[in-house]
């Protein structure tokens, strides 16, 4: 996030796009609700009538994957209505004039042909956001998990830059990170293009710095992304070490993924449970869990916080860092003789410019948000206050692109996927926590009642859902939360593995999978053998080894 969580109750106008925050980041959403109670206005762009849409002033039910068209049209209206912040554009940005010219042709009427939103609503939303003194944008993977994820984010930056909604309290372009330490995994250098602290691997000075620290020269060449690596399993990639990810279930195109992992000579999985992924591994190593592990995590607002062990781990489970460092020692490599999490974190701080002012003891109370470039620095709750990292905020001239797969006669319905409040990811944790299944015992496919009638389905009955990559059976639930022509399911339940279907394309820059837009076909089927209507979902067990 460019701005701190504490800023979330301060905007005049909130613009949420591709974020189902009341279910995925419920505590952050309470801040937005407090802003609304104080009189703030809210625009929600989401294909579904999610919880936030119910309390929004304007809901833009855009067609999945059409965000760029909507945002171009909003920029068009902001420019046409004279709501652009010319002083900000002049002082802080580059290519502003070109951008204002670029958006002249993108009218709300043009966009409505693509995104299927009412042009008047686009107009209202644009004037609302453009007219705000403090306008804040919040987004989640509804923006990034498309073939145009980068374009989507840059479209959001464009409208924030043109209205001067960056670098001030209650403004910003704010991604809500989905996992407790997904920000930290990037900060710590688990990226193919960056060393710790987002230092590009292609810069010779960085190569030299890490050669000094690690005693080994690392390639100047960027590594491959996980997506590419999975594509090349058995053909260039022959071993993988996977820590704490149920890749087989969470990644797109499950059949492809399973085939990939099975074609490795060596798969090492480090996890808490015998996950579907662990079951295909050659070696499974037991890790300590949350509340058993001392360590550090960074949240969505870049706040660096301490994790503390409260109970001992079961049996022989060990911290992930210990496992990997031991493995390195068994490989015969030197420099991996770490004794504690503190020692590991302090080495990270010593090599990362954004953590340079931090160490294990200084983060005791969690008051620092990075960058913290030196020990006297108070941390940076709000980015871009005085200047942008690269000097000026650069407008990008974008055009709309269709998703790689679009609906057709064969696959006439859009499937979009996501999470639900009570369950988390593939239920490896929430499915094993007492009571959670009371709130959400099974997965259902959310289908608009008109589509149920049109497709000959039955509310509470079963449907076969198929895409070019696979098919599955799922129970149907009629709801106007889904728009006509779009259905929704989460990837939480093992018996509804929606990622068997997804996988139609990736963003060309980040290689993030297009999990949010997948054309599918639906047809009625009988209930699976042995399952009556209303039967609970499967209980998680150790399963077959």
Partner 1 sequence: MTMKRNGTPATSGRAVRLTMTLDGEKVAFTRGETVYEVAERHRREIPTLCYDPRLEPFGGCRLCVVELEGARNPVASCTAKAEPGMRVRTRSAALEVQRRILMEMVASENRDTDVDPMHGYASQEMAGLLDRYDARTGRFRGATSGTSRPDDDNPFIGRDYENCISCYRCVRVCAEQEGDYAISIMNRGFHTQITTEFGGLLKDSACTFCGQCIQTCPTGALGDLKALANKDVPGETEKTRTICTYCGVGCSVDVMTRGDEIVGILPAMDGPANEGALCVKGQFAFDFVGHPDRLSTPFVRDGKDGPLRPATWDEALDFAAGKLRKVVKDHGRRSVYGIASGRAPHEAAYMMQRFIRAGLGTNHIDNCSRA
Query: Which of 293, 467, 479, 482 touches partner 1 by CB under 8 A?
Result: 293
C-beta closer to partner 1: residue 222 or 480: 222
Give the integer Cα–Cα distance in Å for 284 and 271.
7
- Does 79 engage in binding with partner 1 (CB under 8 A)? no
The region of 312-320, 390-398, 407-415, 529-537 touching partner 1 under the rule CB under 8 A is 312-320
In the bound complex, what is the minimum distance in angstroms from residue 11's beta carbon to partner 1? 12
Pairing outcome for strands 413-418 and 486-490 = parallel
Q: Smallest distance, Å, CB 34 to partner 1?
A: 7
In angstroms, how far is the first alpha carbon of the chain from the final one? 41
By the rule CB under 8 A, 283 interacts with partner 1: yes
> Which of 134, 80, 83 lies closest to 108, judged by CA?
80
Q: Which one among 14, 17, 24, 117 touches partner 1, defined by CB under 8 A? A: 24
Q: Does 428 bind partner 1 (CB under 8 A)?
A: yes
The reply to whether 205 sits near partner 1 by the rule CB under 8 A is no
Sign of CA dihedral 419, 473, 251, 513: negative
Cα 175 to its chain centre, rounded Å, is: 8
Q: Out of 83, 94, 127, 328, which residue is the one contacting partner 1 (CB under 8 A)?
A: 328
**Beta strand ranges found along 374-517 (DSSP E):** 393-394, 413-418, 444-447, 462-467, 470-478, 486-490
For partner 1, the closer CB: 399 or 480 = 480
Query: DSSP string covering 147-171, please?
Result: TTHHHHHHHHHHHHHHTT-SSSTT-
Q: Is 263 exposed, middle or buried (0-12, 13-18, 19+ CB in 10 A)?
A: middle
Are 240 and 261 in contact by the 8 Å Cβ rule? The answer is yes
Stretch that binds partner 1, among 109-117, 155-163, 213-221, 477-485 (CB under 8 A): 213-221
Q: Residue 106 Cβ, how far from partner 1 at the closest point, in Å?
A: 29
325 binds partner 1 (CB under 8 A): yes
CA gap 303, 368 in Å, rounded: 6
Residue 376: exposure state from Cβ atoms within 10 A (0-12, 13-18, ≥19): exposed
Helix (H) and strand (E) counts in the chain: 19, 20
Measure the CA–CA gap between 363 and 545, rounded to whole angstroms.
41
Identify which of 468, 465, 458, 450 has the alpha carbon closest to the alpha carbon of residue 522: 465
Per rule CB under 8 A, is residue 229 in the interface with partner 1?
yes
What is the maximum span of the chain, computed from C-alpha positions, in angstroms? 68
Which of 82, 87, 308, 529 is close enough to bind partner 1 by CB under 8 A?
308
Bridge-based pairing of strands 93-94 and 393-394 is parallel
Tell the smallest beta-carbon distance from residue 412 to partner 1 (Å). 26
Q: Which stretch binds partner 1 (CB under 8 A): 97-105, 107-115, 327-335, 518-526?
A: 327-335
Which of 60, 111, 296, 372 touches partner 1 (CB under 8 A)? 296
457 vs 515, beta carbon nearer partner 1: 515
Specify whether the CB–CB gap between 21 and 45 falls below 8 A.
no
Question: Which helix (DSSP H) or strand (DSSP E) does residue 33 occupy?
Answer: helix 26-37
Could you tell me if 1 and 123 are in contact, meaning their C-beta atoms sit under 8 angstroms apart?
no
Window of 61-69, 90-98, 106-114, 249-257 that interacts with partner 1 by CB under 8 A: 249-257
Q: Which is nearer to partner 1, 94 or 213 (CB)?
A: 213
Binding-site string for partner 1 from residue 498 to residue 537, where x marks contact by CB under 8 A and - marks none: ------------xxxx-x----------------------
- The verdict on 124 binding partner 1 (CB under 8 A) reads no
Of positions 107, 380, 429, 466, contacts partner 1 by CB under 8 A = 429
CB 143 within 8 A of CB 113: no
Q: How far apart are CA 408 and CA 73, in angstroms?
A: 26
429 versus 466: smaller Cβ distance to partner 1: 429
Residue 84 engages partner 1 in binding (rule: CB under 8 A):
no
**Shortest CB 134 distance to partner 1, Å:** 8
Q: Is residue 298 involved in binding partner 1 (CB under 8 A)?
A: yes
List the x/- string, 134-173, binding to partner 1 by CB under 8 A.
Answer: x----------x----------------------x-----
Among 50, 147, 188, 517, binds partner 1 (CB under 8 A): 188
Q: Which of 86, 222, 350, 480 binds partner 1 (CB under 8 A)?
A: 222
Q: Which of 87, 105, 331, 391 binds partner 1 (CB under 8 A)?
A: 331
Residue from the set 120, 337, 367, 385 that interacts with partner 1 by CB under 8 A: 367
User: Residues with Cβ < 8 Å from 442, sequence gap 6 or more?
Assistant: 475, 493, 495, 535, 536, 537
The one among 83, 94, 127, 317 contacting partner 1 by CB under 8 A: 317
Q: Which of 28, 126, 153, 521 binds partner 1 (CB under 8 A)?
A: 28
Contact status: 187 vs partner 1 (CB under 8 A): yes
Q: Categorise residue 335: left if φ over 0, alpha if ψ from -120 to 50, beta otherwise.
A: left
Q: Is 378 in the site for partner 1 (CB under 8 A)?
A: no
- Which residue of 82, 105, 316, 529 would you call a contact of partner 1, by CB under 8 A? 316
């Amino acid at each position: 996030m460019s701005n701190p969580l504490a800023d979330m109750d301060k905007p005049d106008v909130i613009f949420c796009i591709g974020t189902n925050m009341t279910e995925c980041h419920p505590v952050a959403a309470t801040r937005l609700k407090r802003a609304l109670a104080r009189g703030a206005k809210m625009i929600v762009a989401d294909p579904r009538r999610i919880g936030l849409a119910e309390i929004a002033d304007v809901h833009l039910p855009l067609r999945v994957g059409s965000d760029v068209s909507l945002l171009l049209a909003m920029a068009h209206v902001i420019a046409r209505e004279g709501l652009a912040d010319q002083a900000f554009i002049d002082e802080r940005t580059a290519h502003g004039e070109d951008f204002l010219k670029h958006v002249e042709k993108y009218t709300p009427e043009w966009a409505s042909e693509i995104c299927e939103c009412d042009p008047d609503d686009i107009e209202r939303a644009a004037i609302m956001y453009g007219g705000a003194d403090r306008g804040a944008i919040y987004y989640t993977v509804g923006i990034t998990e498309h073939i145009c994820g980068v374009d989507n984010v840059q479209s959001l930056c464009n409208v924030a830059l043109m209205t001067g909604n960056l670098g001030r309290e209650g403004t910003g372009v704010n991604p809500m990170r989905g996992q407790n330490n997904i920000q930290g995994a990037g900060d710590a250098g688990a990226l193919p293009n960056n060393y710790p602290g987002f230092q590009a691997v292609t810069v010779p000075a960085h190569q030299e710095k890490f050669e000094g620290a690690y005693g080994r020269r690392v390639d100047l060449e960027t590594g491959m992304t996980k997506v590419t690596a999975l594509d090349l399993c058995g053909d260039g990639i022959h071993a993988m070490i996977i820590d704490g990810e149920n890749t087989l279930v969470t990644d797109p195109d499950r059949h492809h993924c399973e085939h990939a992992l099975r074609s490795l000579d060596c798969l090492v999985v480090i996890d808490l449970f015998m996950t579907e992924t662990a079951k295909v591994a050659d070696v499974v190593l037991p890790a300590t869990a949350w509340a058993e592990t001392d360590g550090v995590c960074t949240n969505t607002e870049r706040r660096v916080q301490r994790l503390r062990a409260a109970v001992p781990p079961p049996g022989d489970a060990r911290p992930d860092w210990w496992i990997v460092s031991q493995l390195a020692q068994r490989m015969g490599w030197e420099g991996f003789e770490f004794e504690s999490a503190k020692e590991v974190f302090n080495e990270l701080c010593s090599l990362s410019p954004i953590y340079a002012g931090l160490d294990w003891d200084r983060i005791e109370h969690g008051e620092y948000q990075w960058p913290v470039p030196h020990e006297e620095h108070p941390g940076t709750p709000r980015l871009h206050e005085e200047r942008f990292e690269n000097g000026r905020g650069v407008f990008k001239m974008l055009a709309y692109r269709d998703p790689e797969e679009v609906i057709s006669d064969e696959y006439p319905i859009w499937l979009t996927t996501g999470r639900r409040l009570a369950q988390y990811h593939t239920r490896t944790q929430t499915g094993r926590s007492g009571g959670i299944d009371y709130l959400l015992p099974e997965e259902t496919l959310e289908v608009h009642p008109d589509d149920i009638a049109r497709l000959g389905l039955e509310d509470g009955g079963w449907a076969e859902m198929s895409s070019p990559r696979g098919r599955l059976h799922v129970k149907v639930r009629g709801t106007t939360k889904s728009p006509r022509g779009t259905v929704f399911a989460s990837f939480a339940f093992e018996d509804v593995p929606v990622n068997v279907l997804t996988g139609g394309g990736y963003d060309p820059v980040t290689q993030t999978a297009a999990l949010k837009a997948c054309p599918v076909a639906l047809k009625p089927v009988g209930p699976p053998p042995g399952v009556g209507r209303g039967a609970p979902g499967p209980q998680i067990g150790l399963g077959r080894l």
